[in-house]
Structure 1
Amino acid sequence: MVRKLTQLVMLATVLVASPAFADMKIAVLNYQMALLESDAAKRYAVDAEKKFGPQLTKLKSLESSAKGIQDRLVSGGDKMAQPERERLELEFKQKARDFQFQSKELNEAKAVADREMLKQLKPKLDQAVEEVIKKGGFDLVFERGAVIDVKPQYDVTRQVIERMNQLK
């Protein structure tokens, strides 16, 4: 972090000190936002919700059921007969294991789908970035996270999103 900040300060010093850099066109791009705000990424989010929604609903139901059993055990466990309490404890443990297993499976499936989406969209995003940079004649483009503050006229993120949406 300190090294990156030092590099930025040195770069800023060079840019200010050297008249050769006075005519440079500089832009800022929020790469992640450009990807996530594209039409394709929004379609993916809707499709993923449809695809993984039933599994998520099942997980929430399982969690709710386990919580209900846990609440019964906490509130009335000492008043229950030993066999009933043991049965509920066993049922709670089974539901907790099921929840962990299904949650892990869902997370893994979602991660695979996310990686596949990124693999498909990254070339389009890279092409859109390249075209916007070339069209704008920018000499230097910073990632948005590398700058503290930027005037809106230097941010080309929206242009990249629009160009990406035009690409087939």
Structure 2
Amino acid sequence: MVKCFFLALAGVMLFAAPVFAAELKLGIFNMQYVATQCDAAKAVQKKMQDQFSAEKTAIEKQEAELKRRAEEMQKSGDKMTPEAREDKRTQFIRMKRDYEDKARSFLRRVEQAEMKARQDITLLIVKAVQEIGNAKSYTVIMDGMSAGVLHADKSVDVTQAVLDEANKIYKTSGIPALPSANAKPKK
């Protein structure tokens, strides 16, 4: 029985030796760098600025108007009648609520657009990594930052190759960076 076990173990090791002898090809890249420097990220940034800048400016103007009115109420509060003071206070409270609602809604829409853009860019980068891995026969390609890699030889750094491939895929496939400004949210 013991002889059979050792013979079986020897047979397994003979057949497993070629598997262990296969070359391990490792690639490491900087996901954060690629995600911020790729053409898709730059297009997203520009599109978001174009899409949201007018509304951001309007909200900032409304905030400045609120501050101006608050200062005005403080300065002239003693000179007003109690009724006029109460009217101004009520009007100010309404304006403040309106501003807060608009600002909150604006921030929520911006966050949703950013989250969607990050997801799209991440999928683009994953596709680029898979293309490079298959084309150049990498065994493993990983994000050095999230994998906790503190040091790696420059020969395993594929960051530029991933960036180039992501740009190529973005230019050829037209992966959407942001939903249309007129798109209705799904319920």
Identity of aligned residues (%): 21
CA drift at 1:119? 4.7
- Rate the CA distance shift 1:45–1:74 in 2: closer, same or farther, 3 A: same
Q: Say yes or no: does 1:33 pair with 2:30.
A: no
> Taking structure 1 as the reference length, what is the TM-score of the superposition?
0.70
2:151 aligned counterpart, secondary structure: coil
Q: Say yes or no: does 1:158 pair with 2:149.
A: no
RMSD of aligned residue pairs (Cα, Å): 2.9
Higher alpha-carbon Rg: 2
Q: Which runs of 5+ in 2 are unaligned?
A: 1-19, 173-187
2:28 aligned counterpart, secondary structure: strand
2:108 aligned counterpart, secondary structure: helix
* Higher percent of residues as helix: 1
Task: Give me the whole-angstrom Cα distance separating, in 1, the residues matched to 2:74 and 2:44.
Answer: 42
Partner of 1:147: 148
> Taking structure 2 as the reference length, what is the TM-score of the superposition?
0.64
Aligned residues: 148
Partner of 2:46: 46
Partner of 2:85: 85
Q: How does 1:2-151 map to 2 (within 5 A)?
A: 24-134=24-134, 135=136, 137-139=138-140, 141-147=142-148, 149-150=150-151
Task: Give me the whole-angstrom Cα distance separating, in 2, the residues matched to 1:78 and 1:145.
Answer: 60
User: Do the aligned residues in 2 keep the contact of 1:28 with 1:144 (CA within 8 Å)?
Assistant: no
C-alpha distance after superposition, 1:53-78 (max 9, x if no partner): 11111100111111111222334434
- Rate the CA distance shift 1:73–1:83 in 2: closer, same or farther, 3 A: same
1:28 aligned counterpart, secondary structure: strand
- Rate the CA distance shift 1:72–1:138 in 2: closer, same or farther, 3 A: farther
Task: Give me the whole-angstrom Cα distance separating, in 2, the residues matched to 1:125 and 1:140.
Answer: 12
**Quick one: which amino acid aligns to residue 141 of structure 1?**
M
User: Do the aligned residues in 2 keep the contact of 1:24 with 1:140 (CA within 8 Å)?
Assistant: no
